[in-house]
Amino acid sequence: MMGEERKAEKRKRPRTCVGCGEESPKRELLRVIRTPEGEVRYDPTGRANGRGAYICRCRECLALAKKRKALSRALKTDVSEDVYENLLTLCTDEKREA
Ligand SMILES: [Zn+2]
């Protein structure tokens, strides 16, 4: 019913992709964090400590985020090429088997 739906919505707050700016349930986005040590990395658990940013598992959003430095802005730190490379391997939209 409506009431229940609304409650669930509140509990599972949608996250916004830093690439396309669209909201998605947390599960479908990659969580990238800046650790207290200042390292930027993918957080597979979704629960690691640190400032987090979310991005869709798709190349397009990654490319957009990179171009606009959206990830750097969201995390308030520089995001190295390595991080993007790593995230690219986690994209599910265009899987290329080696
Ligand atoms: Zn996106």
Please, which pLDDT band fits residue 9 given cuts at 50, 70 and 90? very low
Q: What is the structure's pLDDT at 25? A: 79
Tell me the per-residue pLDDT of 61-81, one tens digit each, with 9 for 90 and over. Answer: 999 999 999 999 999 999 999
Question: Which residues make up the environment of ion ligand 1, defined by Cβ < 5 Å?
Answer: 17, 19-20, 56, 61
Give, as one character, the DSSP assignment of residue 77: S
Tell me the per-residue pLDDT of 15-53, one tens digit each, with 9 for 90 and over. Answer: 899 999 999 876 789 999 999 999 999 999 988 999 999
pTM of the prediction?
0.78
**For the chain, first and last CA: distance in Å?**
47
CA of 53 to the centre of ligand 1 (A): 12
Arch. (CATH architecture) of 14-88: 2-Layer Sandwich (3.30)
CA of 58 to the centre of ligand 1 (A): 7
CA of 36 to the centre of ligand 1 (A): 26
Q: Cα separations (Å) of 49 from 1, 80, 90?
A: 36, 20, 21
